[in-house]
């Protein structure tokens, strides 16, 4: 049931990609500080849903509100401000390979309006500490394991203290033990008040780290009851 306090409220939305209707008449609400898994087969629309939330693809019909933004009517110049309130975690990391971890994080902060060197340094140290990567700032991405790179990606997502983290198959390229550590980290972040939407088709992970489950199937979104 949608409420005025919902962080995210989607009602009867359609999402289309390349002439294909991915979601039709789908609805979803998310509360502040809530963790939800979006499960479903490859190609079911999980990633498209997240892309619609950060305005990479449009929502065609229905009502769609994320925080104070109406995603159906959002202006192009408002999108960067929305994205600053989101943390995005990609399966394939998308780190800048030609620079160190610290430089990757500094680049994001400067791009989002941070100017004071000491404040930038303090913020970088803070997020690296939160993801257990305090002593890795001098390394380049290729010098890190997959799990370490994903921790850096999560640190990057935390830089601007987002209200919501969108994690798109964050364990897709990781071994089971490392995957468990990453999901545990996301749950720990959620417990501190940041909502998380995580797409996955790893049902073992969902079982081992319980949270609300929403299934993406046949163009629809529906809660999975225990």
For residue range 144-156, what is the model confidence (pLDDT) as tens digits? 999 999 999 999 9
- pLDDT tens, residue by residue, 6-30: 899 999 999 988 878 899 999 999 9
Within the chain, where are the H helices?
Answer: 46-53, 79-84, 101-111, 117-130, 146-158, 176-191, 203-208
Provide mean pLDDT across the span 202-220: 92
Q: What pLDDT score was predicted for residue 90? A: 83
Q: What is the pLDDT of residue 153?
A: 92
pLDDT score, position 172 = 85
Q: Using an 8 Å Cβ cutoff, are 75 and 33 in contact?
A: no
**Right CATH for 1-85+163-226 from 3.40.50.300, 1.10.10.10, 3.40.630.10, 3.20.20.70:** 3.40.50.300
Pairwise CA distance, residues 177 & 183, whole Å: 10
Q: Check pLDDT > 50 for residue 199.
A: yes
* pLDDT tens-place string over residues 151-174: 999 999 999 999 999 999 998 888
Contact partners, residue 213, CB within 8 Å, separation at least 6: 36, 37, 39, 206, 223, 224
Q: Which DSSP category does 140 fall into?
A: -
Residue ranges per domain, the chain? Answer: 1-85+163-226, 97-161
For residue 16, give the 3-state DSSP assignment: strand
Closest residue by Cα to residue 155 from 126, 122, 196, 190: 126
The pLDDT of residue 41 is 87
Mean pLDDT of the chain: 91
- Quick one: pLDDT band at residue 1, thresholds 50, 70, 90? very low
pLDDT at 17: 83
Query: What was the pLDDT predicted at 226?
Result: 64
DSSP 68-127: TEETTT--GGGHHHHHHTEEEE-TT----TTS-HHHHHHHHHHHTT---HHHHHHHHHHH
Average pLDDT over residues 136-151: 92
Q: What is the per-residue pLDDT for 19?
A: 79
Q: What is the pLDDT of residue 2?
A: 42
Judged against a pLDDT cut of 80, whether residue 108 lies above it is answered with: yes
Residues ≥6 apart with Cβ < 8 Å to 204: 176
Tokens of 119: 């404040």
pLDDT at residue 119 greater than cutoff 70: yes
Taking residues 64-77, report their average pLDDT. Answer: 95
Does the structure show a pLDDT above 60 at 51?
A: yes
Whole-angstrom distance, CA of residue 137 vs CA of residue 100: 7
**Residue 203 pLDDT level (bands cut at 50, 70, 90):** confident
Supply 92's token pair: 């394939």
Displacement of CA 153 from its chain's centroid (Å): 10
Residues in the chain: 226
pLDDT at 9: 96
Phi, psi (rounded to 5 degrees) for 217: -155, 135
User: Could you tell me the two tokens for 221?
Assistant: 């979104």
């Amino acid at each position: 049931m949608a409420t005025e306090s919902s962080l995210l409220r989607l009602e009867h939305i359609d999402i289309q990609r390349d002439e294909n209707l991915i979601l039709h008449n789908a609805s979803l609400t998310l509360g502040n500080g809530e963790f939800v898994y979006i499960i479903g087969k490859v190609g079911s629309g999980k990633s498209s849903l997240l892309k619609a939330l950060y305005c990479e693809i449009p929502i065609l019909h229905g009502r769609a509100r994320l925080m104070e933004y109406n995603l159906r009517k959002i202006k192009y110049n408002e999108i960067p401000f929305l994205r600053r309130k989101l943390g995005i975690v990609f399966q394939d990391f998308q780190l800048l390979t030609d620079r160190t971890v610290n430089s990757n994080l500094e680049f994001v902060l400067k791009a989002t309006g941070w100017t004071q060197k000491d404040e930038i340094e303090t913020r970088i140290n803070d997020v690296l500490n939160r993801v257990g990567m305090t002593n890795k700032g001098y390394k380049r991405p290729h010098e890190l394991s997959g799990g370490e790179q994903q921790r850096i990606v999560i640190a990057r997502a935390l830089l601007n203290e987002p209200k919501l983290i969108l994690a798109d198959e964050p364990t897709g390229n990781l071994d089971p033990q490392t995957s468990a550590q990453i999901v545990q980290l996301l749950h720990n972040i959620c417990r501190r008040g940041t909502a998380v939407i995580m797409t996955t088709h790893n049902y073992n992970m969902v079982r081992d780290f319980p949270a609300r489950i929403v299934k993406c199937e046949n163009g629809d979104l529906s809660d999975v009851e225990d």
